[in-house]
Protein backbone atom coordinates (compact mmCIF):
# COMPACT_ATOMS: atom_id res chain seq x y z
CA UNK A 1 0.00 0.00 0.00
CA UNK A 2 1.41 3.36 -0.99
CA UNK A 3 0.95 6.28 1.36
CA UNK A 4 2.01 8.82 -1.28
CA UNK A 5 -0.31 10.78 -3.54
CA UNK A 6 1.17 11.17 -7.01
CA UNK A 7 -0.71 14.37 -7.89
CA UNK A 8 -1.43 16.33 -4.73
CA UNK A 9 -4.22 18.91 -4.96
CA UNK A 10 -2.52 21.14 -2.37
CA UNK A 11 0.99 21.76 -1.20
CA UNK A 12 1.77 19.14 1.47
CA UNK A 13 4.28 21.41 3.20
CA UNK A 14 1.65 24.13 3.60
CA UNK A 15 -0.82 21.63 5.06
CA UNK A 16 1.78 20.40 7.53
CA UNK A 17 2.60 23.98 8.43
CA UNK A 18 -1.06 24.71 9.19
CA UNK A 19 -1.35 21.55 11.28
CA UNK A 20 1.74 22.49 13.29
CA UNK A 21 0.34 25.98 13.81
CA UNK A 22 -2.86 24.48 15.25
CA UNK A 23 -0.74 22.28 17.53
CA UNK A 24 1.28 25.23 18.82
CA UNK A 25 -1.96 27.03 19.63
CA UNK A 26 -3.04 23.94 21.65
CA UNK A 27 -6.13 23.50 19.47
CA UNK A 28 -5.74 19.72 19.39
CA UNK A 29 -6.28 16.65 21.54
CA UNK A 30 -2.70 15.56 20.86
CA UNK A 31 -3.48 14.18 17.42
CA UNK A 32 -3.25 16.20 14.20
CA UNK A 33 -6.37 18.12 13.20
CA UNK A 34 -7.78 19.19 9.84
CA UNK A 35 -7.08 22.83 8.91
CA UNK A 36 -10.37 24.65 8.36
CA UNK A 37 -11.03 27.35 5.76
CA UNK A 38 -14.06 29.63 5.66
CA UNK A 39 -15.31 27.88 2.52
CA UNK A 40 -15.05 24.45 4.17
CA UNK A 41 -16.78 25.77 7.28
CA UNK A 42 -19.68 26.95 5.12
CA UNK A 43 -20.23 23.36 3.95
CA UNK A 44 -20.94 22.39 7.56
CA UNK A 45 -23.16 25.36 8.28
CA UNK A 46 -25.14 24.61 5.12
CA UNK A 47 -26.26 21.35 6.74
CA UNK A 48 -28.46 23.11 9.30
CA UNK A 49 -31.08 25.82 9.43
CA UNK A 50 -29.81 26.99 12.80
CA UNK A 51 -28.27 30.41 13.25
CA UNK A 52 -24.46 30.12 13.49
CA UNK A 53 -24.59 32.26 16.65
CA UNK A 54 -27.16 30.04 18.41
CA UNK A 55 -25.78 28.82 21.73
CA UNK A 56 -25.82 25.04 21.96
CA UNK A 57 -24.25 24.62 25.38
CA UNK A 58 -22.88 26.87 28.11
CA UNK A 59 -20.79 26.24 31.22
CA UNK A 60 -21.71 29.08 33.57
CA UNK A 61 -18.85 28.72 36.03
CA UNK A 62 -16.37 29.03 33.16
CA UNK A 63 -18.38 31.80 31.48
CA UNK A 64 -17.95 30.04 28.12
CA UNK A 65 -20.48 29.06 25.45
CA UNK A 66 -20.47 26.80 22.41
CA UNK A 67 -22.30 28.17 19.38
CA UNK A 68 -23.31 26.37 16.20
CA UNK A 69 -20.37 28.00 14.42
CA UNK A 70 -17.85 26.89 17.05
CA UNK A 71 -19.29 23.37 16.99
CA UNK A 72 -18.89 23.31 13.20
CA UNK A 73 -15.28 24.49 13.35
CA UNK A 74 -14.36 21.76 15.81
CA UNK A 75 -16.29 19.11 13.89
CA UNK A 76 -14.33 20.02 10.76
CA UNK A 77 -11.06 19.99 12.72
CA UNK A 78 -11.95 16.57 14.13
CA UNK A 79 -12.19 15.14 10.61
CA UNK A 80 -15.99 14.99 10.31
CA UNK A 81 -17.56 15.20 6.89
CA UNK A 82 -20.16 17.96 6.53
CA UNK A 83 -22.95 15.37 6.38
CA UNK A 84 -22.05 14.30 9.93
CA UNK A 85 -22.77 17.76 11.33
CA UNK A 86 -26.50 17.25 12.08
CA UNK A 87 -25.48 14.31 14.30
CA UNK A 88 -22.90 16.50 16.06
CA UNK A 89 -25.62 19.11 16.67
CA UNK A 90 -27.96 16.45 18.07
CA UNK A 91 -25.13 15.30 20.31
CA UNK A 92 -24.82 18.82 21.72
CA UNK A 93 -28.60 18.96 22.20
CA UNK A 94 -28.39 15.73 24.20
CA UNK A 95 -25.38 16.94 26.20
CA UNK A 96 -27.33 20.09 27.07
CA UNK A 97 -30.02 17.93 28.70
CA UNK A 98 -27.48 16.24 30.97
CA UNK A 99 -27.25 17.95 34.38
CA UNK A 100 -23.62 17.06 35.01
CA UNK A 101 -21.42 18.61 32.25
CA UNK A 102 -22.54 22.17 32.94
CA UNK A 103 -21.65 21.64 36.61
CA UNK A 104 -18.06 20.85 35.74
CA UNK A 105 -18.07 17.05 35.74
CA UNK A 106 -15.96 16.99 32.55
CA UNK A 107 -13.26 18.58 34.71
CA UNK A 108 -13.53 15.83 37.34
CA UNK A 109 -10.57 14.01 38.85
CA UNK A 110 -12.52 10.83 38.06
CA UNK A 111 -11.73 11.34 34.37
CA UNK A 112 -15.29 11.35 33.06
CA UNK A 113 -15.96 11.59 29.34
CA UNK A 114 -19.00 12.01 27.08
CA UNK A 115 -20.38 8.90 25.37
CA UNK A 116 -22.67 9.23 22.35
CA UNK A 117 -25.04 6.44 21.29
CA UNK A 118 -26.72 6.89 17.91
CA UNK A 119 -29.98 5.31 16.79
CA UNK A 120 -32.12 5.32 13.67
CA UNK A 121 -31.62 5.50 9.89
CA UNK A 122 -28.75 8.00 10.12
CA UNK A 123 -26.51 5.13 11.19
CA UNK A 124 -26.52 3.61 7.72
CA UNK A 125 -26.68 6.94 5.95
CA UNK A 126 -23.34 8.17 7.26
CA UNK A 127 -21.64 4.83 7.95
CA UNK A 128 -21.71 4.64 11.74
CA UNK A 129 -20.47 1.34 13.08
CA UNK A 130 -22.77 -0.65 15.35
CA UNK A 131 -21.16 -4.08 14.94
CA UNK A 132 -17.65 -5.52 15.19
CA UNK A 133 -15.08 -3.41 17.08
CA UNK A 134 -17.83 -0.93 17.93
CA UNK A 135 -15.74 0.66 20.70
CA UNK A 136 -12.59 0.54 18.59
CA UNK A 137 -11.03 2.10 15.52
CA UNK A 138 -11.78 1.81 11.82
CA UNK A 139 -14.88 3.94 11.21
CA UNK A 140 -14.59 7.61 10.39
CA UNK A 141 -18.08 8.64 11.49
CA UNK A 142 -17.75 7.08 14.96
CA UNK A 143 -14.22 8.36 15.50
CA UNK A 144 -14.73 11.92 14.32
CA UNK A 145 -18.20 12.63 15.74
CA UNK A 146 -17.03 11.61 19.20
CA UNK A 147 -13.80 13.53 18.71
CA UNK A 148 -15.73 16.66 17.71
CA UNK A 149 -17.25 16.86 21.20
CA UNK A 150 -13.85 16.41 22.87
CA UNK A 151 -12.14 19.04 20.69
CA UNK A 152 -14.91 21.50 21.51
CA UNK A 153 -14.44 20.80 25.22
CA UNK A 154 -10.77 21.66 24.79
CA UNK A 155 -10.99 24.59 22.39
CA UNK A 156 -14.20 26.29 23.51
CA UNK A 157 -14.36 25.43 27.21
CA UNK A 158 -10.62 25.31 27.84
CA UNK A 159 -10.57 21.77 29.24
CA UNK A 160 -6.89 21.09 28.62
CA UNK A 161 -5.20 18.35 30.67
CA UNK A 162 -3.06 19.73 33.53
CA UNK A 163 -5.16 22.91 33.39
CA UNK A 164 -8.96 23.00 33.75
CA UNK A 165 -9.21 19.24 33.11
CA UNK A 166 -8.18 17.73 36.44
CA UNK A 167 -8.49 14.02 35.56
CA UNK A 168 -6.16 11.91 37.68
CA UNK A 169 -5.74 9.27 34.97
CA UNK A 170 -8.51 9.92 32.47
CA UNK A 171 -10.08 7.39 30.12
CA UNK A 172 -9.65 6.43 26.47
CA UNK A 173 -13.13 7.88 25.96
CA UNK A 174 -11.60 11.34 26.30
CA UNK A 175 -10.36 11.03 22.71
CA UNK A 176 -13.63 9.83 21.24
CA UNK A 177 -16.60 7.74 22.37
CA UNK A 178 -19.37 7.35 19.81
CA UNK A 179 -21.18 4.11 18.96
CA UNK A 180 -24.35 3.16 17.13
CA UNK A 181 -26.89 0.63 18.38
CA UNK A 182 -27.10 -2.65 16.47
CA UNK A 183 -30.87 -2.42 16.19
CA UNK A 184 -31.11 -5.14 13.55
CA UNK A 185 -29.76 -7.84 15.88
CA UNK A 186 -31.56 -6.74 19.02
CA UNK A 187 -34.55 -8.73 20.34
CA UNK A 188 -36.04 -5.51 21.72
CA UNK A 189 -37.00 -2.06 20.59
CA UNK A 190 -34.00 0.26 20.32
CA UNK A 191 -33.10 2.77 23.00
CA UNK A 192 -34.64 5.82 21.32
CA UNK A 193 -37.95 4.03 20.66
CA UNK A 194 -38.05 2.81 24.27
CA UNK A 195 -37.96 6.44 25.32
CA UNK A 196 -40.65 7.82 23.05
CA UNK A 197 -39.21 8.39 19.56
CA UNK A 198 -40.30 6.53 16.43
CA UNK A 199 -38.35 3.76 14.64
CA UNK A 200 -37.88 6.05 11.62
CA UNK A 201 -36.42 8.82 13.79
CA UNK A 202 -32.70 9.27 14.20
CA UNK A 203 -31.39 10.30 17.61
CA UNK A 204 -28.33 10.72 19.78
CA UNK A 205 -28.17 9.78 23.45
CA UNK A 206 -25.47 11.46 25.55
CA UNK A 207 -24.14 10.04 28.79
CA UNK A 208 -21.28 10.95 31.10
CA UNK A 209 -19.15 7.83 31.51
CA UNK A 210 -16.47 6.80 33.98
CA UNK A 211 -15.16 3.44 32.73
CA UNK A 212 -15.93 0.44 30.52
CA UNK A 213 -15.62 -3.21 31.61
CA UNK A 214 -16.03 -6.27 29.40
CA UNK A 215 -18.17 -9.24 30.40
CA UNK A 216 -16.67 -12.44 28.98
CA UNK A 217 -19.46 -15.01 29.21
CA UNK A 218 -19.17 -17.57 26.42
CA UNK A 219 -20.06 -20.50 28.62
CA UNK A 220 -23.80 -20.24 29.20
CA UNK A 221 -27.15 -19.93 27.50
CA UNK A 222 -28.97 -19.63 30.85
CA UNK A 223 -30.25 -16.07 31.31
CA UNK A 224 -30.11 -16.24 35.12
CA UNK A 225 -26.42 -17.16 35.00
CA UNK A 226 -25.65 -14.36 32.56
CA UNK A 227 -27.55 -11.84 34.69
CA UNK A 228 -25.51 -12.90 37.74
CA UNK A 229 -22.27 -12.49 35.79
CA UNK A 230 -23.23 -8.98 34.76
CA UNK A 231 -24.44 -8.10 38.26
CA UNK A 232 -21.06 -9.13 39.66
CA UNK A 233 -19.37 -6.54 37.49
CA UNK A 234 -21.82 -3.76 38.33
CA UNK A 235 -21.65 -4.30 42.08
CA UNK A 236 -17.84 -4.16 42.32
CA UNK A 237 -16.91 -1.99 45.26
CA UNK A 238 -14.39 0.04 43.26
CA UNK A 239 -17.29 1.49 41.26
CA UNK A 240 -19.07 2.79 44.34
CA UNK A 241 -18.07 6.43 44.61
CA UNK A 242 -21.56 7.53 45.59
CA UNK A 243 -24.16 5.76 47.68
CA UNK A 244 -25.27 3.87 44.57
CA UNK A 245 -24.10 3.70 40.97
CA UNK A 246 -25.66 3.65 37.51
CA UNK A 247 -24.68 1.98 34.26
CA UNK A 248 -25.29 1.47 30.58
CA UNK A 249 -25.22 -2.21 29.69
CA UNK A 250 -24.17 -2.69 26.06
CA UNK A 251 -25.08 -6.28 25.27
CA UNK A 252 -23.42 -8.09 22.41
CA UNK A 253 -25.99 -9.71 20.09
CA UNK A 254 -25.25 -13.20 21.46
CA UNK A 255 -25.96 -12.14 25.02
CA UNK A 256 -29.04 -10.19 23.97
CA UNK A 257 -30.30 -13.33 22.26
CA UNK A 258 -29.77 -15.40 25.44
CA UNK A 259 -32.21 -13.10 27.20
CA UNK A 260 -34.54 -12.61 24.24
CA UNK A 261 -34.86 -16.31 23.42
CA UNK A 262 -35.82 -16.96 27.06
CA UNK A 263 -38.61 -14.39 26.76
CA UNK A 264 -36.94 -11.77 28.93
CA UNK A 265 -37.94 -8.16 28.27
CA UNK A 266 -35.60 -5.24 28.93
CA UNK A 267 -37.35 -4.72 32.26
CA UNK A 268 -36.82 -8.39 33.13
CA UNK A 269 -33.09 -7.97 32.45
CA UNK A 270 -32.96 -4.84 34.57
CA UNK A 271 -34.77 -6.46 37.48
CA UNK A 272 -32.69 -9.65 37.29
CA UNK A 273 -29.47 -7.68 37.43
CA UNK A 274 -30.70 -5.15 40.02
CA UNK A 275 -31.74 -7.91 42.42
CA UNK A 276 -28.26 -9.43 42.35
CA UNK A 277 -26.09 -6.31 42.07
CA UNK A 278 -25.84 -6.27 45.86
CA UNK A 279 -22.98 -6.13 48.36
CA UNK A 280 -23.08 -7.25 51.96
CA UNK A 281 -22.40 -4.74 54.71
CA UNK A 282 -19.25 -6.70 55.58
CA UNK A 283 -17.95 -6.46 52.01
CA UNK A 284 -18.36 -2.69 52.07
CA UNK A 285 -16.83 -2.37 55.55
CA UNK A 286 -13.78 -4.31 54.35
CA UNK A 287 -13.00 -1.57 51.82
CA UNK A 288 -14.12 1.33 54.01
CA UNK A 289 -17.34 2.11 52.16
CA UNK A 290 -20.02 1.08 54.63
CA UNK A 291 -21.39 4.59 55.25
CA UNK A 292 -21.87 7.85 53.34
CA UNK A 293 -20.79 11.45 53.83
CA UNK A 294 -23.34 13.88 55.25
CA UNK A 295 -22.13 16.53 52.82
CA UNK A 296 -21.13 14.85 49.55
CA UNK A 297 -23.05 11.57 50.04
CA UNK A 298 -19.96 9.75 48.77
CA UNK A 299 -19.10 6.46 50.43
CA UNK A 300 -16.64 6.41 53.34
CA UNK A 301 -15.90 4.36 56.48
CA UNK A 302 -18.51 4.16 59.21
CA UNK A 303 -16.04 5.59 61.72
CA UNK A 304 -15.37 8.77 59.74
CA UNK A 305 -16.48 11.98 61.55
CA UNK A 306 -18.62 12.98 58.54
CA UNK A 307 -20.26 9.54 58.25
CA UNK A 308 -23.96 8.86 58.32
CA UNK A 309 -25.88 5.62 57.62
CA UNK A 310 -26.81 4.89 54.02
CA UNK A 311 -30.43 4.26 53.04
CA UNK A 312 -29.97 0.50 52.92
CA UNK A 313 -29.01 0.44 56.61
CA UNK A 314 -32.50 1.71 57.43
CA UNK A 315 -34.31 -0.92 55.37
CA UNK A 316 -35.65 -4.37 56.16
CA UNK A 317 -32.27 -6.00 55.62
CA UNK A 318 -29.48 -3.53 56.48
CA UNK A 319 -26.78 -6.06 55.61
CA UNK A 320 -27.93 -6.19 51.98
CA UNK A 321 -26.77 -3.06 50.07
CA UNK A 322 -27.91 -2.62 46.44
CA UNK A 323 -25.32 -1.11 44.10
CA UNK A 324 -28.06 0.43 41.91
CA UNK A 325 -30.66 2.83 43.29
CA UNK A 326 -33.35 1.10 41.19
CA UNK A 327 -33.67 -1.10 38.09
CA UNK A 328 -34.10 2.09 36.05
CA UNK A 329 -30.53 3.11 36.90
CA UNK A 330 -29.49 0.51 34.32
CA UNK A 331 -29.93 1.45 30.64
CA UNK A 332 -29.74 -1.24 27.94
CA UNK A 333 -28.53 -1.16 24.34
CA UNK A 334 -27.29 -3.79 21.88
CA UNK A 335 -24.07 -3.33 19.90
CA UNK A 336 -21.17 -5.36 18.59
CA UNK A 337 -20.66 -8.35 16.32
CA UNK A 338 -22.66 -11.56 16.51
CA UNK A 339 -19.55 -13.70 16.98
CA UNK A 340 -18.83 -14.15 20.72
CA UNK A 341 -20.36 -13.86 24.17
CA UNK A 342 -18.99 -10.42 25.00
CA UNK A 343 -20.81 -7.44 26.49
CA UNK A 344 -19.74 -4.21 28.18
CA UNK A 345 -20.76 -2.51 31.40
CA UNK A 346 -20.25 1.25 31.10
CA UNK A 347 -20.26 3.01 34.45
CA UNK A 348 -22.15 6.27 34.05
CA UNK A 349 -22.13 9.39 36.18
CA UNK A 350 -25.68 9.64 37.43
CA UNK A 351 -27.36 7.86 40.29
CA UNK A 352 -31.04 8.68 40.01
CA UNK A 353 -32.02 6.41 37.13
CA UNK A 354 -33.44 9.29 35.12
CA UNK A 355 -34.55 8.99 31.52
CA UNK A 356 -31.37 9.28 29.45
CA UNK A 357 -30.61 12.50 27.57
CA UNK A 358 -31.85 11.85 24.02
CA UNK A 359 -32.09 14.37 21.20
CA UNK A 360 -33.44 13.85 17.66
CA UNK A 361 -31.21 14.40 14.65
CA UNK A 362 -32.60 17.28 12.58
CA UNK A 363 -31.86 19.01 9.27
CA UNK A 364 -30.42 15.93 7.57
CA UNK A 365 -31.58 16.83 4.07
CA UNK A 366 -30.98 20.58 4.03
- Per-domain residue ranges of the chain: 12-277+323-356
4 pLDDT band, cuts 50/70/90, is very low
Q: Are 92 and 55 in contact (CB under 8 A)?
A: no
The per-residue pLDDT for 352 is 57
Rounded distance, CA 366 to CA 61, Å? Answer: 35
Backbone angles phi, psi at 148, to 5 degrees: -60, -40
User: What's the pLDDT score for residue 315?
Assistant: 87
pLDDT on residue 254: 98
Q: Which helix (DSSP H) or strand (DSSP E) does residue 345 occupy?
A: strand 342-348
Q: What pLDDT is attached to residue 3?
A: 36
Alpha-carbon span 267 to 331, nearest angstrom:
10
Q: How far apart are CA 296 and CA 315, in angstroms?
A: 21
Strands (DSSP E) found in 139-202:
178-180
pLDDT digits (tens, 9 = 90+) for 141-188: 999 999 999 999 999 999 999 999 898 898 888 999 999 999 999 999
Dihedral over alpha carbons 110, 360, 41, 157 (to 10 degrees): -30
DSSP 252: -
Q: Note the Cα 289 to chain centre separation in Å.
A: 27
Mean confidence (pLDDT) of the chain: 92
The answer to whether the beta carbons of residues 223 and 262 sit under 8 Å apart is: yes
Q: How confident is the model at residue 316 (pLDDT cuts 50, 70, 90)?
A: confident
Mean of the pLDDT values across residues 214-230? 95
Q: Please compute the mean of the pLDDT values over residues 87-94 and round it to a whole number.
A: 98
Contact 114, 175 (CB under 8 A): no
Q: What percent of the chain has pLDDT over 90?
A: 82
Reported pTM: 0.94
pLDDT interval class at 364 (50, 70, 90): low
Amino acid sequence: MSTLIDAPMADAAEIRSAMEYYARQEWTDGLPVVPVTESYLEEFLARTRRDPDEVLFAVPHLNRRCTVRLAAINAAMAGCLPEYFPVVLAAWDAVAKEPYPRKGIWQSTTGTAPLLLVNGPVRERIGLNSKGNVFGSGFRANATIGRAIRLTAINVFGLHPHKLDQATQGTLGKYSACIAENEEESPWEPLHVEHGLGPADSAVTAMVIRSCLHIEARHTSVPEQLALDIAGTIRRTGALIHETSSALLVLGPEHARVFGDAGWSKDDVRRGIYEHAVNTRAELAAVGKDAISRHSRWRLPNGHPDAMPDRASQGENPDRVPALVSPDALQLAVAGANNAGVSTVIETFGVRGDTPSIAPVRDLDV
